[in-house]
Amino acid sequence: MARMRPLPRVKQFNQLLSRVVKLKEDSAAICLFKDICNLGISVDECTMNIAIDSCCLSNRVNYGFSILGWFFKRGCVPNAITFNTLLKGLFRENRINEAQELFRKMVRRGLCELNVVTYGTVIDGLRKAGNTAMAIEMLRVMEKGSCKPDTQIYNTIIDGLFKDRMVDSAVKLFAEMTEKGVSPDVVTYHALIRGFCNLGRWREVKLLLKEMINCKIHPDVMTFNTLIDALCKEGLVDEAEDVLHIMMERNVVPDVVSYNALMDGYYDAMHILREMPRKGFKPDVATYSTILQGLFRSGRCSAALDIFDELQVVGLKPHFYTYCNVLDGLCRKRPSERALLLLDAMEQNREPLHISYYNIVMDGFCKAEKYHIARAIFSDLPSKGLECDVVTYNILIKGCCQNGLLDEAKDFLLKMEQASLLPNEVTYNVIVQGFLVRGKYDVVAEFLEEMDAKGFSQIQPHLPCFLIHSTREQNPTLLKVIQKWASSTLSQKQ
């Protein structure tokens, strides 16, 4: 687009910019906005509003305000979309006082026409900040003015009241809502049902479900998931199964949340954990460690972290296997900052450190293609008084090979031997596979010969047929070694 002459209209650039924001590539959107301006394109209100939105979504609301200044420089007038976006950005960054001050300026100076989105943004921001009382005051202001609250506004406050355990106020507001002719929707009922489920008030839940059906408001997947989750937490797994069947009968397709909730219900160890104190038994560290491992392996990371916190709250001290389970769980899907934070906390608390903890985290970052972080962790190990083992070097050698750092992989192999650590089958398999993928056939032949000389007879890399075929012309020596390996392996299996 930038090379076209004449340049496309600003509308086309706006469409591109908008699509990038919808793809949640906020940093890219900001860069794109700068490029558009540098091209000398006369941006309009739409361009600047999209750019402000991308700034707010990437927690850079200050830059959004600087773009606001462009409106006035270019003779444009910011509208409700502009200020609503900035309000949302301030609340998103938890800058509550600044958000309230901006809203007051919008009212006093008449910066734009306030609409239901404006009030909804403020009410939602106040509710998420825990200030439900002020959110209700804002609702009362709306009720007296020309911009009346809609269903979404009431839903936001009802949900906040339930979270604040103000059940009677939530029920009263629901009654007011219907009296004033504002029709509840599935989200309204979901907030009410979830609130009563959390309190274990099943009678009210049943009445609300019946009322929903009578009003021809069909429960959605979120409503059913709330019921399944609440029943499972009460140990009523059979009833939760019944809800799943009803869900499917009504052509509501269960999702991963539905089945995860049921899996939690089926997870007998959790039920036993809760039953132990009632029967006079006190769970120990081993009990919690077993549960942690099961929760992480079933993908229930949040629940596992709750159990890890509970373990410490009840006065138990995590041991080696506890920490291994938690670090492994945090790195299972993708290594998070939480794994590094946990290691830092262990160091600060002077917990006995073990190389296995760091091996787990380094392996996680290598698998997530963040070898540079694993390398940095390795570099810090001597300062922590830890000695690397064979597993450490195998992890780093594999990380090097995956990133094409073959010379560094060979250096690690040398360091390994200098540390009097003998390479094992895993070491050789990793390095052979890494060099083979990069076409370093001569080096592969050397390593295979070395493996054979040291008595390693199991080669695990799956050598694709096209690679073996390609070596026929490129490296006859490698082909002979591979043939030798193949015949050796077959004879051993026979």
Indicate if the alpha-carbon torsion angle 58, 61, 62, 65 is positive or negative.
Answer: positive
Instruction: Say what the pLDDT of residue 469 is.
Output: 46
Q: Alpha-carbon Rg of the chain, whole angstroms?
A: 31
Instruction: Name the nearest CA neighbour of 352 among 389, 331, 323, 388.
Output: 323
399 within some domain = no
Question: 396: Cβ–Cβ under 8 A, 6 or more apart, which residues?
Answer: 362, 366, 374, 375, 378, 412
20 within some domain = yes
Instruction: Say what the pLDDT of residue 479 is.
Output: 61
DSSP type of residue 384: G
Q: Are 384 and 353 in contact (CB under 8 A)?
A: yes
How many C-beta atoms surround the C-beta of residue 174 within 10 A? Answer: 21
436 within some domain = no
71 within some domain = yes
Q: Are 319 and 288 in contact (CB under 8 A)?
A: no
Question: What region does 429 belong to: left with phi over 0, alpha with psi -120 to 50, or beta?
Answer: alpha
The pTM (predicted TM-score) of the whole model is 0.52
45 within some domain = yes
Instruction: Name the nearest CA neighbour of 227 among 260, 253, 251, 258.
Output: 258
- Please report, in tens digits, the pLDDT of each residue of the chain (494 residues total): 888 888 888 899 999 999 988 888 888 888 888 888 888 888 888 989 999 999 998 888 998 898 888 888 878 888 999 999 999 999 999 899 999 999 999 988 888 889 999 999 999 999 888 888 899 999 999 988 888 999 999 999 999 898 888 888 999 999 999 899 999 999 999 999 999 988 888 889 999 999 998 888 988 999 999 998 888 777 677 788 888 888 888 888 888 788 777 766 666 867 667 777 887 878 888 888 877 877 787 677 888 888 899 888 888 888 888 999 899 988 876 666 788 889 998 888 888 889 999 999 999 988 888 888 999 999 999 988 888 899 999 999 988 888 888 888 888 888 888 888 888 878 877 877 777 776 676 777 777 777 666 665 554 444 444 344 444 445 555 565 556 555 554 444 44
Instruction: Say what the pLDDT of residue 484 is.
Output: 56
Question: 17: Cβ–Cβ under 8 A, 6 or more apart, which residues?
Answer: 29, 32, 33, 36, 47, 50, 51, 54
Range of the domain at 62: 1-78
Q: Cα dist. 181→151, 193, 431 in Å?
A: 10, 21, 71
Instruction: Say what the pLDDT of residue 287 is.
Output: 80
* b/e 402-422 (16+ beta carbons within 10 angstroms → b): bbebbebbbebbeebeeeebe
5 within some domain = yes
Number of domains forming the structure of the chain: 1
185 within some domain = no
Q: How far apart are CA 339 and CA 416, in angstroms?
A: 26
Name the one residue in this structure whose structure tokens are 């083979």.
Answer: 436
Q: How far apart are CA 376 and CA 384, in angstroms?
A: 13
